[in-house]
Structures are given as structure tokens and as C-alpha cells.
Amino acid sequence: MATAADQSKKTPAKTPLWRQLWLQVLVAIAAGAVLGWLNPALGVQLKPLGDGFISLIRMLIGPVIFCTVVHGIASMGDLKKAGRIGLKALLYFEVVSTFALCIGLLAGHLLHPGVGFVAQPAAAGLKAIGGFVEKAHADGVVQHLLNIIPTTFVDAFAKGDLLQVLLVSILTGVAIPHAGAGGAKVLEAVEAFSDVFFRIIAIIVTVAPIGALGAMAYTVGAFGPRALINLAQLVGSFYLTAVLFVLLVLGSVARLHGFRILKFLAYIRDEILIVLGTASSETVLPSLMRKMEKAGASEPVVGLVVPTGYSFNLDGTNIYMTLSIIFLAQATNTPLTFAQELTIVAIAMLTSKGASGVTGAGFITLAATLAIVPQIPIASLAMILGVDRFMSQCRAITNLIGNGVATVVIAKWEGELDTAQLKRALDGGDPAAHTAEATA
């Protein structure tokens, strides 16, 4: 007969509610909003807390992606398998991304967020978007493609460009199996560095509530609690469209592959709340990868799909781009033909690639798309600059969820998904405990 002591050894103690990361972040977000509302000046001064947390995570994104992609490809041994996974992932990304772009267009036509809007951008607004427009013009289509190639191997990590890091990672992963004993030593070193980087991230994640508090206090303090009033219809339309996309489109994809989207959202709730507070999906990239492994997806699939998805599977950004373009067309009374809208979708499919989860990247991508589509005056971007921060949170969360679902789907396609482990992860267990295990 088992004693109480024996049972306590078998059943790990449940983490107290107040120590769970998701609750700490949620409380911090609420506290930041209240603080920014009551004392806007102080809220603005707390901006470095959010920026600092994002910077701490971003400094490790390049090395983490490099280690995981290199290990994922090199440890497969079968490079044809790695290529097959990559092609399946890209096919999935393109199909779902096209759905997201078209849904954004449809939402714009059904909800009419820009109809009746008096479009007269102020001079200050035009000056504010100058830097974005300048960057958009500099990053033309050809230059956008050439920018994927870093100046040097190390330069990819110095700039933190996700596509450049992916390029050098893939090349390194492909080369290692052909390097003999030296390649094996390099792979062993990569594995050791990967463990170190994830342990560093485990330390950084503990201060996520502080970063979320600072970011939210700044947002409310800088723009005010009534900041959404003038453009509430656009922001509301975007949030509604994104929610429906997650529940209906991604929900259908999830159900077809044997899991429920609501349970999946509960499983990654820590990551969703951190992204809500920081408006950047990059802050949870490492923990999302470990959670996908805990959910039964194989390490090689996770190592290839998640980092690639952060550049090629940006569902939230795609919805935001086409919906915002329709809003600007309606607000400036610029009629668009069906052919012009198809052109916008085609261009957005290209310009959205590489727009990582950094706050503001989606706005630059939108500017790049409008720079190529002359029908809508690019100066009209000034109208949505003030609320872009609020939409960036929804963009990042939708991107995060889309990449998580994609990882499970590709793993199942490849026969690299432990369905029993997935069911256990989504049905039982404490999501906070999963995060602690994933980052420990």
C-alpha cells in the first residue's frame, strides 16, 4: 500500500497560481494599463522596460535559430528528408498566407472601416512616416531579395536579419554531414551551445512581467486610453478578422489534423500573453519551439518549421496588410479594380516575407507594398501610424498561433508527431509547467 510520502514523490507539486507566468504577465499588463492611464508621463518613462526585455530576447534569436536549424538539418542525415520537410512547410505557408491575405481583403469590403473617413493627413503625420517610406523605397523587390544574402557570415548575426540567419544556418546544416569527423565535432558543439542559449533564455523569461508592464504603460501613456476612438473601426475590424481567422481557418486546419484550436491556445497561453504585453512574437520564439517538442513534434521538424515560419508564415501581418490597404483606399476615396486587388495580394505575398515579429515591422512592410502600388497615396499611412502599436499586438499573436499550428501539421504530415503526447499536452498538465520544463 502506497504511503502519502510515496504518492507525493510520484505526483509533482503543482505550481502555485501566483507563480505561474501567464498570470504574472496578465497582472503586469493590467497594472501597466492602469499606470499609463493615471500617470501618462510615468508610463512613457517606463518604455525602456519593454524595450529592454525585447532586446534581451532578440540578442539570442540569431544564435538560437542557427543552432536549432543546423542541428535539425545535420542530425537528419537524410538531406532529402530535410528538403521534403522544407518544401511541405513552404507549400503550407503559401496556401494559408494566401487565405489570410484574401480574408483581409474580404473583411475590408464587408466591414467598410474607411468609408466616411475624412482623409487629410496632418503635416506632422506626414513627417512621422518619412522614415518608414524611405525604408520602403530602399527595400524594392530586387533589393529585398538581395538583402537575404549577408555581407559576411557573421554579419547575419550582427544585423539580426532572420532571413540571413536562416540562409547561413541551412548552408551550415547541409555542409556538416559532408565534413566527416570535423563536422561531427561541430554538430556536438552546436548542441552544447544550444543548451546554453536556452538556459539563458529561461533566466530572461522570468522578467517577462516587468517587460510587459513597461510596454503596456508606455502604450497607454503615450497614446491615451482614447487613442483608439478615431480609428476604432479599423482596429476593431482587424481584431475581429484575426479572431475569426484563428477560430475558423486555423481551427479547421487543427481539427482536420486531430486537435482542437481552443485547447492549443490554452497550451500556449503563456506565450500569447507575453506577446500581448510586448507586441513582439520574437520574444517567445525559443519557448514556442520547446513547447512544440513537448507537444510531440519531432526536434528536426520544429527546428526547421518554426524559424522558417517566422519569416514565411505571417498570417496576422498578411491580414493587417490587405485590410489596411482597403481601409486607406476607402479613406482616400481611391477606387480599386479587381485586377489591382489581385496585384496587391501578389505583391504582399513577396513583401511580407521576412517581416519578423519585431514591433513595427508590419508597418514597414505595409509601406513597402504601398510604395509598389501607386494607386493609393503613400502619405495616407500617416492616418494609421498612431494606432499601429495596438494592431501590432494582434499581428504578433496571430503570427505566433499560425506558426504553432503549422508545426503540428507539418510534423503530422511527416509522421513525426507523437499524437498521444500531443493529446496529453493539450488535455492535461499545467501549461506553465510545460513552459518551465521547456526553458529549463
Considering the domain boundaries, does residue 197 fall inside one? yes
Which residue, among 81, 423, 413, 396, has the nearest Cα to 253 in the 3D structure? 413
Which residue, among 343, 288, 345, has the nearest Cα to 318 in the 3D structure? 345
Considering the domain boundaries, does residue 12 fall inside one? no
Considering the domain boundaries, does residue 383 fall inside one? yes
pLDDT of residue 127: 47
Is residue 267 very low, low, confident or very high in pLDDT (cuts 50, 70, 90)?
Answer: very high
Of residues 177 and 265, more confidently modeled: 265
Considering the domain boundaries, does residue 163 fall inside one? yes
Cα angle for residues 322, 401, 195 (degrees, 5° grid): 130
* DSSP-assigned letters across all residues of 206-239: TTHHHHHHHHHHHHHHHH-TTTTSTTHHHHHHHH
Considering the domain boundaries, does residue 56 fall inside one? yes
Average pLDDT over residues 304-320: 85
Mean pLDDT rounded to a whole number for the chain: 77
Q: Which residue has the cell 494566401?
A: 98
Strand partners of residue 153: none
Whether the predicted pLDDT of 243 surpasses 90: yes
What is the longest distance spanned by two Cα atoms in the chain?
Answer: 80
Q: What percent of the chain has pLDDT over 70?
A: 73
Among 170-179, 211-220, 231-240, which is the least confidently predicted range? Answer: 211-220
Considering the domain boundaries, does residue 2 fall inside one? no
- The domain tally of the chain equals 1
Is residue 10 very low, low, confident or very high in pLDDT (cuts 50, 70, 90)?
Answer: very low
Residue 377 maps to which CATH number? Answer: 1.10.3860.10
Whether the predicted pLDDT of 380 surpasses 60: yes
> Residue 285 corresponds to which cell in the numbers above?
520564439
Average pLDDT over residues 277-282: 75
Note down the domain range covering 332.
18-439
Per the CB < 8 A criterion, the answer to whether 353 and 311 are in contact is yes
Average pLDDT over residues 50-74: 77
The b-or-e profile of 182-212 (16+ CB within 10 A means b, else e) is eeeebbeebeebbeebbebbbebbeebbbbb
Is residue 242 very low, low, confident or very high in pLDDT (cuts 50, 70, 90)?
Answer: very high
pLDDT of residue 254: 95
CA 395/CA 403 separation, integer angstroms = 12
Whether the predicted pLDDT of 12 surpasses 80: no
Of residues 339 and 385, more confidently modeled: 339
Considering the domain boundaries, does residue 36 fall inside one? yes
Is residue 297 very low, low, confident or very high in pLDDT (cuts 50, 70, 90)?
Answer: very high
Q: Which residue has the cell 552546436?
A: 190
Q: Which tens digit of pLDDT belongs to each residue from 103-153?
A: 999 999 998 887 766 554 444 344 444 454 555 555 555 666 677 788 888
CA 217/CA 31 separation, integer angstroms = 8
Average pLDDT over residues 180-187: 84
Of residues 267 and 433, more confidently modeled: 267
Which residue, among 197, 198, 279, 359, has the nearest Cα to 25 in the 3D structure? 279
Considering the domain boundaries, does residue 86 fall inside one? yes
